[in-house]
Structure 1
Amino acid sequence: MNIIPEPLSGGSRLSYDYINHYEQVGDFYGGSHRDPKSWKQRVDWLDQNGHRAVNRQALADCLRSYNERHHNRHEAVHKSIALLEREDALVIVGGQQSGLFTGPMLVAYKAMTIIQAAREAEARLGRPVVPVFWIAGEDHDWDEVNHTFLPAQDEGPVKIKMNAADSSRTSVSYTPVNAEQWETALGEMQNLLEDSPHKKELMSLLRQTSLESSDLSEAFARLMGECFGRYGLILMDSADPQLRALEKPVFEQMIRENEKLTAAYIKAASELKERDYELQAEVNEDGLNLFYLHEGKRLLLFKDQGRFSDRKGLVSMTEEELLAELAAHPEKFSNNVLTRPLMQDAVLPVLGAVLGQGEIAYWSITRYAFKELDLQMPLILPRMSFSLVDSAVPKVMDKYGLTLQDVLQGLEDKRSQWLAEQDHLDLDQRFLDMKDAFSALYAPLIQDLGELQPGLQRLGDTNRQKILEQMDFLLQKTKSSLEQQHSASLRQWDRLQAELAPMNRPQERVYNLFYFVNRYGPSFLDRLMDIAYDDSGVHRVIYL
């Protein structure tokens, strides 16, 4: 594989500055991941404040139980969990929603980054650093996770979507998926994957992990374990009831300190706005930033006149009533994007958090909130980012004089320009000249007709407009014929778009991992894992 850096546009200005100009935004974060002093400061803080974390043995028991239940039983995983029991062990962590068949490729890239960053940190520090992947099973946005995309011949990306059995807004980990739903999704996957020597084995894996799972999070965990368990990646689900019980003291602190936390979020948001950075997460002056599960619905809580309730008024509790409910039912509580970083740091000895660009931006809002809970923001490590390019693609790009940046950042304009160059009749200019000449000849006649009878001028104007419209119609028909004449070439342009920038988005945010595993074989993941770790945040292109 040939690997070349190719920066991608997009993402927030704040995340761009974090990656490229840290000195401009460093005060919003806990330290630069490129500065050895920041690593030492974070390690020292963890060593001095380890007593604040959840009990190590209880945490290890919870993780061991979860990974056993979801068949992530690789020896490397057992070793990672055993290391985590040691008081000197640290964690590199990252997470994602539990997408259908693992969702887009960026999920795999995040897992790769976590594993490789943990390896590098362990070598650098000379002490155990284990990789942990946090499955955001507590999220309730079903439409964000219920689908995936595969490329289809001459069709571009095709969506495989799983409809929910009901429309409740409960957590994804609590949303049941039955065998019929799995069979439908698996059938679509079977039809869309091209025939290959690896397809039978791959479909067997997908069927086994899916049909034995009662929800998307469980299937996600099983697949992620199959893919990355051999590298020691520990899985945890934010909606796991056993984990919730361990988190109860942290939720209690968040509720009791809610006013201080809210003020901390508002202060950070205000400073970001003052420096013209766009907020990547909503900050409400009355927000608790916690969810409560009520009759199957996940409700975001707000504070109003001493009571906590949702916007629709389905629940309403005083602080003491809310704390009593937490004591009895911790599994009913969950975090939003602003409290999840805090919970993560309270539960795990987090040395570094692997984040995508959107996450890097909204974590800046938590800068003061960490301090309110006697925590410290961990180091932030940008997720590795890739585009996979088939060996046939460069030949097509050379044929049309295209760079990868042309494909990734504006292929439609280049396509239109190329097609215009094939117009040897100069259609646009000749039709424009014809319309101008016609209008110049017709205008005096219409004027004279109006002097003969006013109604004839109106009729003449209408007639002129219809003739001009017919000229435009003829121009479009002629251009369609030109496109048909070059249809084979235009299909090559369309395939470039579909392969590298589907739906005008980066490939890694659209296509599914198993399309590539099916094409290149089970060893494909091992080949990706052999790619050198890079913490620069720069997008790289892999020529296969």
Structure 2
Amino acid sequence: MTSTVYYELPSSQPLSEAYGKRTDSRLESLLHSGHPSDEQAWFARAEKLDHMLGMRAPAARIAEALRSYNARIGMSPETESQLDAIEQGAYVVVGGQQAGLWTGPLLVIHKAVTIISAAKHASAILGKTVVPVFWIAGEDHDWDEANHINVSSEQGVRKLAIARPEGARTSVSRTALDLEAWEKALADLEAQLTGTEFKEPLLEKLRAWIGDGVSLSDVFARMIAWLFGQEGLVLLDADDAALRRVEAPMFRRMLGDNDALEAAYAEAGAQVQALGYATQAAATSGCANLFLFRPEDQAFGKAGDRVLLYKRDGGYTDKKGDAFWSSDELLAWTDTHPERFSNNVLTRPIMQDYVLPVLGAVLGPGEIAYWAQTGEAFRRCGMEMPILVPRMSFTLVEGTAAKHMDKYGLTFEDIAVRFEERKQAWLAEQDRFDIANRFAEVKREFTALYEPVVELAAEVQAGLKALGTTNMNKILEQIAFLEARTSDAFRKSNEASLRHWDRMEAALWPAGKPQERILNMTAYWNRHGSSWLEKLLELPYDPNGGHRIVYL
């Protein structure tokens, strides 16, 4: 069996699909830094970055902030060397994701793999060091998106979650968890993982990283650093206080030029729609596209809550309109309290480009779709969008699943597209008794024999027809009951095989979705150690993104 096979997953993002496959040249006006499959685009982007050197945060300052953060989470020698390169002005390939429990879904791992592969690809083209950077969106506050994982096992897929503690609805990076919550989450994971030679070493790593006051972002960062440290991956938490101080001038600019930026987002959104695509991110009228962490002295709401800012009466308010901050007040805070600000999906790309010399940004399908709405804002800031690098994706097929697929003659597409149909067809083939048809024949014959008797009774006395019909239906119900019991007994006789089918679905297309969106990496590490990840890192870079089925 071939160890890796391409398979085209169904896409829910027409714009991203058209960009990845280069089937719509009109998108070049929106996504204007070229395609990663074009080598010349990398040279052109590098030249633009050189010309915009004075428009970004100083390399020494960002390197200092990143060095401090990476040292806290566990910095490898390879990462330290890459930070030295950033300090010397090296370009970067960057991608990011919200911090999630135990790294979240597999697509997070796939994004890190793509960042590393794309950085190596660009470095080979340019003949210069290109640093891979993972941007942890720790400023996000959607706890329900970050707090859980799904783990596959012999018993199927189980959701494991960690509850949000009481207090402000603040960012994931600022939400501290107590040791009891962490120990329960780790115990849940331990119970779900089967016993292997890799289990205890994995759990020991995780035990060393949890603790009282530790956030999801803290453990997420340590895990990513552990998994990819040897590749020199540099980590960045968007909610890190040192980074916020570097970002302060751009927050000031975003506030001072907010009306023009709002108009730029609206214009780009209209361009997206004019090309026949739907806009992915809402560009609401009057929205500043910036968040504020409520300061301690605010009378309304809880201090620390992260609220989206809206413009009103020359200043800013929250969505409910129960607080007000003057423009001068917020502008002053960009200097004195930059940690009070954070970006939304439309301003984050601009901030990312201000902080780092971004050669390419690794994005998933949804991200590419909303980045299409940022091109005019980049221009408004005197910047240009980086090369948009489609994230590579993979489905991991383990030996047991591959064996079952061979046994039942199934392709990956059978499981992803027509699983229930194939399952029922196989089950029907096993039915040498022809249960459904034989019971259907009995029902037909009984009805044919009994209906004339009912009519006869009705001729004798009209009121007997209802009684006869009721009696007939009761007998049909009893036949149906026997059929159900017979079918159940038949299914039980094939129970072992049906479990094979269910496990294939749970492993490869869980909950009717791609594996990468549902399952977590811990079960794969538990069964295979690092070999599965090494295999992904060894695969050739695909500038079009693409989905590969990888047999382990």
Amino acid at match of 1:319: S
Q: CA deviation at 1:455?
A: 5.8
Conservation of the 8 A alpha-carbon contact between 1:90 and 1:128: yes
- What is residue 77 of structure 1 aligned with on the other side? 79
Q: Does 1:540 align with 2:548?
A: yes
- What is residue 424 of structure 2 aligned with on the other side? 416
Conservation of the 8 A alpha-carbon contact between 1:22 and 1:32: no
User: What are the within-5 Å matches in structure 2 for residues 54-453 of structure 1?
Assistant: 54-72=57-75, 74-87=76-89, 89-153=90-154, 155-166=155-166, 168-211=168-211, 214-294=214-294, 295-439=303-447
Paired with 1:310 and 1:413, the residues of 2 have a C-alpha distance of 50
Conservation of the 8 A alpha-carbon contact between 1:173 and 1:215: yes
- Gap change, CA 1:275 and 1:281, over 3 Å in 2: same
Amino acid at match of 1:344: Q
- What is residue 16 of structure 1 aligned with on the other side? 17
Q: What's the TM-score once normalised by structure 1's chain length?
A: 0.93
- Gap change, CA 1:328 and 1:449, over 3 Å in 2: farther
- What is residue 29 of structure 1 aligned with on the other side? 31
Q: Does 1:519 align with 2:521?
A: no
Q: CA deviation at 1:78?
A: 1.3
Paired with 2:463 and 2:344, the residues of 1 have a C-alpha distance of 68
Q: Per-residue displacement from partner, 1:274-331 (whole Å, max 9, x unpaired)?
A: 4442332222122211111111211112224434222222322232233233333211
- Gap change, CA 1:264 and 1:456, over 3 Å in 2: farther
Paired with 2:328 and 2:67, the residues of 1 have a C-alpha distance of 34
Q: What's the TM-score once normalised by structure 2's chain length?
A: 0.92
Q: CA deviation at 1:144?
A: 0.9
Paired with 1:471 and 1:173, the residues of 2 have a C-alpha distance of 61
Q: Does 1:4 align with 2:5?
A: yes
Greater CA drift, 479-488 or 133-142 = 479-488
Greater CA drift, 447-456 or 214-223 = 447-456
Q: CA deviation at 1:453?
A: 6.8
Amino acid at match of 1:78: E
Q: Does 1:48 align with 2:44?
A: no
Percent identity between matched residues is 43
Paired with 1:167 and 1:503, the residues of 2 have a C-alpha distance of 33
Q: Which runs of 5+ in 2 are unaligned?
A: 295-302
Greater CA drift, 430-439 or 74-83 = 430-439
Greater CA drift, 213-222 or 458-467 = 458-467
- Gap change, CA 1:349 and 1:475, over 3 Å in 2: same
Q: CA deviation at 1:356?
A: 1.3
- Gap change, CA 1:28 and 1:424, over 3 Å in 2: farther
- Out of 472, 484, 488, the residue aligned to residue 476 of structure 1 is 484
- The CA RMSD over aligned residues, in Å, is 2.3
Greater CA drift, 508-517 or 48-57 = 508-517
Paired with 1:262 and 1:8, the residues of 2 have a C-alpha distance of 35
Paired with 2:454 and 2:138, the residues of 1 have a C-alpha distance of 71
Q: Per-residue displacement from partner, 1:78-135 (whole Å, max 9, x unpaired)?
A: 1111111123x11100001111111122212211111121112112112221111100
- Gap change, CA 1:426 and 1:383, over 3 Å in 2: same
Amino acid at match of 1:47: D
Conservation of the 8 A alpha-carbon contact between 1:213 and 1:219: no
Paired with 2:22 and 2:386, the residues of 1 have a C-alpha distance of 19
Amino acid at match of 1:177: L
| Partner SS, residue 173 of structure 2 | helix
Paired with 1:184 and 1:311, the residues of 2 have a C-alpha distance of 36
Conservation of the 8 A alpha-carbon contact between 2:105 and 2:521: yes
Paired with 2:49 and 2:21, the residues of 1 have a C-alpha distance of 27
Q: Which runs of 5+ in 1 are unaligned?
A: none
Conservation of the 8 A alpha-carbon contact between 2:393 and 2:545: yes
Conservation of the 8 A alpha-carbon contact between 2:401 and 2:503: no
Conservation of the 8 A alpha-carbon contact between 1:9 and 1:409: no
Amino acid at match of 1:504: G
| Partner SS, residue 368 of structure 1 | helix
Paired with 1:107 and 1:502, the residues of 2 have a C-alpha distance of 17
Paired with 2:470 and 2:380, the residues of 1 have a C-alpha distance of 72
Count of residues in Structure 1 that have an aligned counterpart in Structure 2? 541
